[in-house]
Amino acid sequence: MLAIVIPAHNEAACIGACLAAARAAATHHALLGEASRVIVVSDACTDDTSALSRAAGADTLEVATRNVGFARAEGARFALALGARWLAFTDADSLVAPDWLAKQLECASDAVCGVVSVEDWGCHHPQVSEQLREHFALSYSREDGHRHVHGANFGVSSEAYLRAGGFAAMHSGEDSALVAALIASGASVAWSVGPRVVTSSRTDFRAPGGFGAILLDVTRSYEAGEPVGGLSRQDLPLLR
């Protein structure tokens, strides 16, 4: 069995699209009909996230920690209890590609770190959208062997996850910490551009030290007219 785990805090506005994409990935023909579960971990939600998730057919867990690391770990615990052999993780503000799960498995590694793309620059950063688009294009590697780690595009075998100790209860950086633990445990990690995810450039991000926070720092520098570095991958602040 395969499992897709999605932590969510007040994501009623986007959880429907996220779950539709996840369900399409979970039923892709390349998976040859293998059973799958989509699991939403509703973390201290005060909106309709939980109800919408259940209506969409997702297993929905309720926690109240406001901690993304704990939420991911709780989703993994539930999936492991169901017998999942592979744990795939994304975020509620992200859309996985139809072949996302199949591409993770195709890597034949203990864990897979994928890449993200952004399509909504103008919606959230209208004054500097073109600068951000160029910045991202120059500073972000989109080649196999990249070293980006995104909770929105990550997969790991259940065995490797357990050997590495699973996700720590961290408010941000739990994804990077787990990848470091996987490497230390001897797990094989594929740094692949095959599994594709579109994520958001929104400013009301949930993880205080994640992709959204880094992006906001870069945005503020552009808006203030401050130097952000030359137009080279070496000089620009990395959007990891």
Token match 């080279």: residue? Answer: 232
Q: Could you tell me if residue 227 is inside a domain?
A: no
Strand partners, 37: 3
Summarised one tens digit per residue, pLDDT across range 17-57 is 999 999 999 999 999 999 999 999 999 999 999 999 999 99
Q: Could you tell me if residue 26 is inside a domain?
A: yes
At 228 the pLDDT is 59
Give dist(CA 175, CA 89) in Å, integer: 10
At 227 the pLDDT is 59
Closest by alpha carbon to 91, among 190, 202, 237?
Answer: 202
Q: Could you tell me if residue 94 is inside a domain?
A: yes
CATH of the domain at 94: 3.90.550.10
Give dist(CA 193, CA 75) in Å, integer: 25
Number of domains forming the structure of the chain: 1
Summarised one tens digit per residue, pLDDT across range 210-236 is 788 878 888 888 877 775 553 333 333
At 122 the pLDDT is 74
Strand partners, 39: 5, 59
CB atoms closer than 10 angstroms to residue 52: 22
Q: Could you tell me if residue 214 is inside a domain?
A: no
Q: Could you tell me if residue 38 is inside a domain?
A: yes
CB atoms closer than 10 angstroms to residue 42: 27
Q: Could you tell me if residue 220 is inside a domain?
A: no
Q: Could you tell me if residue 7 is inside a domain?
A: yes
Cα torsion 221, 130, 91, 32 to 10°: value is: -150
Q: What is the pTM of this model?
A: 0.90
Q: Can you list the residues of the chain whose pLDDT is less than 50?
A: 230-240
Domain range for 111 is 2-119+144-199
Q: Could you tell me if residue 6 is inside a domain?
A: yes
